[in-house]
A and B are shown apart, each in its own frame.
Chain A
Amino acid sequence: MSAAEQDVLTTAAGWLGAGRKVALGTVVKTWGSSPRPAGSQIAIRDDGAFIGSVSGGCVEGAVIEGALDTMKDRKIRKLEFGVSDEQAWAVGLACGGRIEVFVEPLS
């Protein structure tokens, strides 16, 4: 895991320390030609600001939406994206791969 990716957790800790709500998204499963490996992370702040990535930028928008829901209801979520998925196609995972993203609140 690169230094750049590790910055995700340092930034998340900073946000938490400043009293913001934060959720974490982690790629937990990949199929086919997914752009980021399992373990890739994104941290999302309550105003939608984010650091890190779980794809080449294709599904981050949908993950941020899921993260904002998680911050409200404090529930974990599993989001799956792939080309066969209508909704995912709308947000555009066009690389042909499939990924599962685990979203959890930082509390």
Chain B
Amino acid sequence: MKRETLTALNEARGKGRAIVRAVDLATGEEVLIDPASEKSTLGVAAAAAARADQSASVEIEGRSWFLEVYNPPLDLVIIGAVHIAQPLSQMASLTGYRVRIIDPRTAFATVERFPGITLSHDWADEALSKAPLGPRSAVVLLTHDPKLDDPALIMALKSDCFYIGALGSRKTQATRQARMKVQGFGENELTRIRGPVGLNIGARSPAEIAVSILAEMTQILRGPER
């Protein structure tokens, strides 16, 4: 890899842009590709690899290229700076997520409780308008309070985020879905809401619940059922 290539790669990654490096495995020749705009055969293959989030080999006109995918980090939005959010934000950071916590209650979302995590004291709809959700976003609602959760839930359902989880019992989930139905969302959209949140592993403590949520997010993102 040339020094200029490394600099350009790090620059693109710093800006949160997806980028692909194609390397000819026989010669070491390399090409940097912007998967959003490159229209060549190699560019189309690079875009497919970026979409699949999977580095892979391709044969094009007798040459064997390896496509190295550098996608921007995964994005986890936690609504509610509650106890579960503390271990969840740490575990998700370790897993490679860029974590942001949204809670207008300033006593909850403090740097002391969430060192190193991006905190927003805006209301969720406002915060999510400033930094929108995308296909690499996951949204976890933890406040138990429709006044705080619902604006975020509506934004999440309108987005193409890959995961929506909401804390609460089956009964809470049913009433939540009913409220969203009133908002005009259909059955398909309502089933996107995972509740009770997380895989059923018998989690009890906030940290264990965080494990179950992160496990479910991983399953949706990478698992065969997707």
Contacts and interface: CB of A to CB of B under 8 A. Distances in A.
Interface string A1-29: 11111100110110010000000101011
Given A39-B55, A104-B28, A1 B69 contact: yes
Nearest to B93: A3
A106 B5 CA distance: 9
A20 B93 CA distance: 30
B25 A78 contact: yes
Contacts of A12: 6
Contact of B57 (A28, A104, A107): A28
A39 B49 CA distance: 11
A58 B94 CA distance: 23
Interface residues of A, number: 25
Contacts of A38: 54-57, 66
Interface in B72-131: 73, 93-98
14 contacts: A1-B53, A2-B95, A3-B73, A5-B96, A9-B6, A9-B10, A9-B13, A16-B3, A29-B57, A38-B54, A38-B57, A102-B25, A106-B6, A107-B3
B42 to A, nearest CB: 16
Contact of A10 (B10, B25, B71, B98): B10
A106 B25 contact: no
Interface of A: 1-6, 9-10, 12-13, 16, 24, 26, 28-29, 37-39, 76, 78, 102, 104-107
A13 B14 CA distance: 13
Contact of B96 (A1, A13, A26, A105): A1
Chain A residues touching B, majority SS: mixed
Contacts of A39: 54-55, 68-69
Given A6-B13, A26-B66, A37 B55 contact: yes
B1 interface: yes
Contacts of B25: 28, 78, 102
A105 B69 CA distance: 19
A26 B6 contact: no
A106 B1 contact: yes
A13 B3 CA distance: 8
Contact of B7 (A13, A26, A76, A102): A13
A26 B68 contact: yes
A24 B96 contact: no
B70 interface: yes
Given A3-B98, A38-B56, A107-B3, 17 more contacts: A1-B53, A1-B55, A1-B69, A5-B96, A6-B13, A6-B73, A13-B10, A24-B1, A26-B66, A28-B57, A37-B54, A38-B57, A39-B68, A102-B25, A104-B1, A105-B1, A107-B1
